[in-house]
Amino acid sequence: MDLKWIALVPLFPLLGSVINLFLGRRLSKGVVGTLACAAVLASFAVSVGAFFSLNAMAPEHRQVVVHLFDWIDAGSFHVPFAFLVDPLSVLMILVVTGVGFLIHVYSTSYMEHDEGYARYFTYLNLFTFSMLVLVLGSSFLTLFVGWEGVGLCSYLLIGFWYEKKSASDAGKKAFVVNRIGDFGFALGMMLIFWTFGSLNFTEVFSGASRFAAGEPVMTTICLLLFVGACGKSAQLPLYVWLPDAMEGPTPVSALIHAATMVTAGVYMVARCHVLYMLSPTAMGVVAVVGGVTALFAATIGLVQNDIKRVLAYSTVSQLGYMFLALGVGAFSAGIFHVMTHAFFKALLFLGSGSVIHALSGEQDIRKMGALKGPLGRTYFTFLFGTLALAGIFPFAGFFSKDEILWNVYNTNRVLWVVGVAGAFCTAFYMFRLVFLTFFGESRLTSEAKHHLHESPPRMLVPLFVLAILSVVGGWIGLPLMPGGNPLTHWLDPVFGPEAAVGGEGAGHGLEIGLMALSLGVALFGIMVAWLFYRKTPKLPVALGASMKGAYNMLLNKYYVDEIYGAAIVRPFFSLSGMLWTFFDVKVVDGVVNAVGRFVRGAGSAARGLQSGYVGGYALAMVLGLVVVISYYFIK
């Protein structure tokens, strides 16, 4: 396949979106859904083609820029609309279109009874388009198109049920918090432009070799870009939008807020690894923010009662792991986790969707229980996802998480301890979720009980596929392989040989030992969860009561939203109000009106000249002027 066809990858979903926008309300649901799915499937097919074409090339040539058209030209500022095809972007488009397609299929059933069916698929296809532009863009600015585009779609999809205030609030919050991140990203781009004279990846990254490590401008650039990553990938302190994003339909949470969009920040930092490698400070910040977020969000996840919120905090936490990997220079490990996480987190969200669907909308795990029987298939796949997320051998998450922890261990022991602690929490809260949802006694409301049913095939098949991927997806990154694993090998042309950071030198024995240790920690987490929620269910209640302060702290998510509200949002609104009612109305207009009164006072002396009808003499003035001009003009 000629790589210039890569433009079709984002184009198909864009077309799907446009068609459904204009005709969706007139087409049948079957046509709308099929069209949307077909668009993404076609993109996936082209992506596979691109993969094989790239694979057939010599590794050092696997970097092709496909120019589409000139976008913005102003003096030396020259940004074409072009796509960059390389191992990293191809891996990303495979994940986005592959997982995206499954979620589209799932959605055709999940959203079947929604009156906004066509609108939903318009947004979903538009999202796919934006995400593909994001990962394919060959410059910071093209990336930014997708970057803000996914923000837009996120806004639209979170607020999809627009009549619900909480939903439209959450959509707005997502957009605004993302914008705060984009503010940093945009400033980063400006500094890049004036530093390198270009915003194209190839020119910027090759220009970076002129700089020595640790130069302040590099650190500033990297930190500004990282502000953007924190917004998009929900890291401290900008993660607050993501848990609220669960207001959207569940497949949206699966696609956008787990599998794809939120990984954009990780992708971007990995893409800019050349710059980050030049700034140890920025790398340190990335690692610390990632590590702290990983543990912070995991602790909140311990006590949440909404099935989707547990998963949401788990997403924040897992994204933290990815940044932790990037921060210690293990870029391909970070991308590996992006991929496996896409599989198992999409699976978990879709599984939770299947549960919610079966219970006609119930999301509170305190009102679930004993669903293993009636929702056997959902349970089975959900368990796969859970094992993968908890990092149990041989599920996908085990390999990617372990590669991260191994790299962290070789760089910073404190962060490693933080990461392992997070892994314990992860295993615990996920099995708490499984036990409360699928085991024990049924706590269903009678209405839910009545409605209870396993999901239809169009929802189950995507679950099965993702369940398989949640196992085998990890095997392309098997550890301890001589010469690196296939994934690292594939990404080598992008990131370069990674041995420098750690990995190879430290001996296989230690690596195996650490693997066993983290597996043990995860199993311990599962055991504690079993003890708490299967063996002695009174224990967590007693514990919660005895440690009320800590428990409330976690249940209320460290009061972060409340703090932001009291410290930033409300003062800002009252200040704005004051500026208006005081400064604008009293001060400026006060002066203006005083001048007006003065003029009127002076004018009353000459009242004889005034007819009182301003319009009259204004018109006379114009006509007079017209006559004067015409006179000179004709003469």
Partner 1 sequence: MGLLSILVWLPLAGALALLAWPRSNEGGMKLFALGVSLANFALSVVLFRQFVPTEAGMQLVENYPWIASIGASYHLGVDGISLFLILLTTLLSALAILSSWTSIHKKMKEYLISLLLLETGMLGVFVSLDLVLFYFFWEAMLVPMYLLIGIWGGERRLYAAVKFFLYTMAGSVLMLIAILVMYFTHQRETGKYTTDLLQLYGTHFSASTEMWLFAAFFVAFAIKVPLFPFHTWLPDAHVEAPTAGSVILAGVLLKMGTYGLLRFSLPLFPNATQTFTPLVIALSVIGIIYGAMVALVQPDIKKLVAYSSVSHLGFVVLGLFALNLQGVEGSILQMLNHGVSTGALFLLVGMIYERRHTRLIADFGGLWKVVPVFSVLFMVVMFSSIGLPLTNGFVGEFLILVGAFKDHPLATVLASTGVILGAVYMLWMYQRVVFGKLENPENQGLKDVNTREKWVLAPLIVLILWMGVYPKPFLARMEPSVQKLLTEVRSRQAVTALGLHAASPEVKR
Binding site for partner 1 (CB under 8 A): 69-77, 141, 144-145, 147-149, 152, 155, 159, 162-163, 165, 168-169, 172, 175-176, 179-180, 182-183, 186-187, 189-191, 193-194, 572-573, 575-577, 579-580, 584, 588-589, 592, 595-596, 599, 614-615, 618-619, 621-622, 625-626, 629, 632-633
Q: How far is the CB of 113 from partner 1 (least distance, A)?
A: 18
How far apart CA 264 and CA 359 sit, in angstroms, is: 33
Q: How far is the CB of 614 from partner 1 (least distance, A)?
A: 7
DSSP code for 395 = S
Token couple for 219: 């650190």
Q: How far is the CB of 145 from partner 1 (least distance, A)?
A: 4
Q: Which long-range contacts (CB under 8 A, 24 or more apart) does 47-52 make?
A: 47/9, 47/90, 47/93, 47/94, 47/97, 47/98, 48/94, 49/1, 49/5, 50/1, 50/3, 50/5, 50/6, 50/9, 50/85, 50/90, 50/93, 51/90, 51/94, 52/1
Q: How far is the CB of 14 from partner 1 (least distance, A)?
A: 11
- Considering beta carbons, is residue 182 or 244 the nearer one to partner 1? 182
Q: How far is the CB of 447 from partner 1 (least distance, A)?
A: 23
- Considering beta carbons, is residue 145 or 448 the nearer one to partner 1? 145
DSSP code for 82 = E
Q: How far is the CB of 610 from partner 1 (least distance, A)?
A: 13
- Considering beta carbons, is residue 2 or 589 the nearer one to partner 1? 589
Q: How far is the CB of 168 from partner 1 (least distance, A)?
A: 4
How far apart CA 211 and CA 25 sit, in angstroms, is: 55
- Considering beta carbons, is residue 457 or 577 the nearer one to partner 1? 577
How many helices and strands, by DSSP H and E, does the chain display? 28, 2
> Tokens 């694993």 — which residue?
485
- In 3-state terms the chain splits into helix, strand, coil percentages (rounded to 5) of 80, 5, 20
Alpha helices of 452-547 — where are they, by DSSP H?
Answer: 457-472, 486-495, 508-530, 538-546
Token couple for 68: 């589409």
Output b/e per residue, 11-26; b: 16+ Cβ within 10 A.
bbbbbbbebbbeebee
Residue 625: exposure state from Cβ atoms within 10 A (0-12, 13-18, ≥19):
exposed
Helix axes 457-472, 396-409, angle to 10 degrees: 40
- Considering beta carbons, is residue 189 or 471 the nearer one to partner 1? 189
Q: How far is the CB of 19 from partner 1 (least distance, A)?
A: 15
- Considering beta carbons, is residue 91 or 141 the nearer one to partner 1? 141
How far apart CA 393 and CA 386 sit, in angstroms, is: 12
- Considering beta carbons, is residue 558 or 573 the nearer one to partner 1? 573
Q: How far is the CB of 149 from partner 1 (least distance, A)?
A: 7
Alpha helices of 56-164 — where are they, by DSSP H?
Answer: 87-110, 117-136, 140-158
- Considering beta carbons, is residue 25 or 453 the nearer one to partner 1? 25
Q: How far is the CB of 265 from partner 1 (least distance, A)?
A: 17
- Considering beta carbons, is residue 216 or 482 the nearer one to partner 1? 216
- Considering beta carbons, is residue 148 or 403 the nearer one to partner 1? 148
How far apart CA 352 and CA 42 sit, in angstroms, is: 28
